[in-house]
Amino acid sequence: MSTGHVSTTDTPIRPFTAIVAADGAVLASGWTADVDDLLPRVSPSLRPTTLTPRRDLGAVTRAVRAYHAGDLDAIADIPVRQRAGEFTARAWDALRTVPAGKPISYADYALLAGRPAAVRAAATACARNAATLFVPCHRVVRTGGAIGDFRWGVDVKRWLLNHEAA
């Protein structure tokens, strides 16, 4: 049996919830107040059997608040734990190297992940990312700069991109 912790923080966009492992690594996160939007996104092998609500998750909560207040690098050192195949895991790692305010296309993202021809697989890696914000999939846009899809909605993605461009 594993225990995780969950907390929701108010942000300028909407509530942001994070699920973390006992050691503080983010397992899932996003702009929702409903943990049921997040828990199914966690790999079954990592999914906590018990979730304990907390008012504050320490470094994770501080990073969420700091990021939304303008410290765009606050999320960089927060540990994340996800499980997937080799390419998807590499693609998630690559996302963490995309600088704030410098969105890239899905084609560039596939190249960054080491498989230039795997544009659809790169897009799928974005869609499967459970640790949004900390693995900043919002920084990937369509060729030509169109926003594209985002699990938390196009308005949230637009806000994040504008926030990072300011």
Cα–Cα distance measured from residue 57 to residue 35, given in angstroms and rounded to the nearest whole number:
15
* E-strand stretches of the chain: 3-9, 16-21, 26-30, 50-53, 104-105, 140-141
Q: Which one is catalytic: 78, 100, 135, 137?
A: 137
Tokens, residue 49? 């059997």
Q: Say how many CA atoms lie within 13 Å of 61 toward its Cβ.
A: 12
137 included as an active-site residue: yes
Closest CA to 82 of 67, 93, 72: 93
- Per residue in 31-62, pLDDT tens? 999 999 999 999 999 999 999 999 999 999 99
pTM of the model: 0.95
pLDDT at 159 over 70: yes
